[in-house]
Amino acid sequence: MAPLDSKSAGGEPGVWKSGRGRGRRLPKGRVYSDEALAAVRGVLGDRPRRRDLLIEFLHLIQDVYGHLSADHLAALAFEMKLGQAEVYETATFYAHFDVVKEGETPPPALTIRVCDSLSCALAGAEQLRAALEEGLDPGQVRVLRAPCMGRCDTAPVLELGHNHIDHATPEKVRAAIAAGDTHAHLPDYEGFDAYAAAGGYAVLKGLRAGGDWEAVQDSVLAAGLRGLGGAGFPSGR
């Protein structure tokens, strides 16, 4: 196969190096369009193209376009100087990213995710999901099952866009859709400055000022504390 030009129509380096030499200028994979690259750059703005910001950038593109197209993923990989496989694997790992392959139809603008954990199932999540699928236009709203949302005390729970609805009912969902209430409701958390001013982290400050770290570690180990999660590793190690 003959090598492509080193410059595309939009002025960006091509996939194959022209002339002599080996290797590629860009990550392996599909060729992005100039429109996709311009769109990605418009969404990212002047943010630094750091590798640790990949998930945040995927969220930004998803929020603007409602999905992640193959074209946008390829353009994002180029813009961040990452392999396309790394970007694709990250995007497909998380349930909230909607990756749309070439030729596929993008999902509706609004998605409802119904928690299907044990607590929600016992509280009628399956009946709730069925009622929503029957009563809503599938061309406008998509209804999906989703893993535990960590709100078992308010089951059944669903997420309408980014808005979690506790003790969810079809009536609550329809009212929220009519009101356009699809954004996250953030609690009024106590900030760091207020917490520190009220005496927060006093023990940590004392340790930093001259505490005995080894004694603290020995105390934690002796207490038998274990970390949360399935592994339960001993704390202090």
pTM of the model: 0.67
Q: Is the residue at 135 inside a domain?
A: yes
User: Domain check: are 84 and 145 in the same one?
Assistant: no
Q: Is 163 helix (H, G, I), strand (E, B) or coil?
A: strand
User: Domain check: are 35 and 102 in the same one?
Assistant: yes
User: Domain check: are 151 and 63 in the same one?
Assistant: no
User: Domain check: are 53 and 1 in the same one?
Assistant: yes
How far is it, in rounded angstroms, from Cα 108 to Cα 138? 8
pLDDT in tens, 113-152: 999 999 999 999 999 999 999 999 999 999 999 999 999 9
Mark out the alpha helices in the chain (DSSP H runs). Answer: 34-44, 54-65, 70-80, 84-93, 118-122, 125-135, 170-179, 192-197, 202-208, 213-223
| 7: phi then psi, degrees, rounded to nearest 5 | -130, 135
Give the type of residue at 48.
Answer: P
pLDDT in tens, 26-49: 556 678 899 999 999 999 999 999
User: Domain check: are 20 and 95 in the same one?
Assistant: yes
Band (pLDDT 50/70/90 cuts) for residue 229 is low
**What pLDDT was estimated at residue 17?**
42
**What pLDDT was estimated at residue 70?**
94
Which residues are CB-contacts of 114 (< 8 A; sequence separation ≥ 6)? 120, 125, 128, 129, 132, 143, 144, 145, 146, 156, 158, 168
**What pLDDT was estimated at residue 95?**
80
User: Domain check: are 70 and 162 in the same one?
Assistant: no
Segments forming the whole domain that contains residue 205: 192-217
Q: Is the residue at 5 inside a domain?
A: yes
Residue carrying the six token digits 């994002």: 76
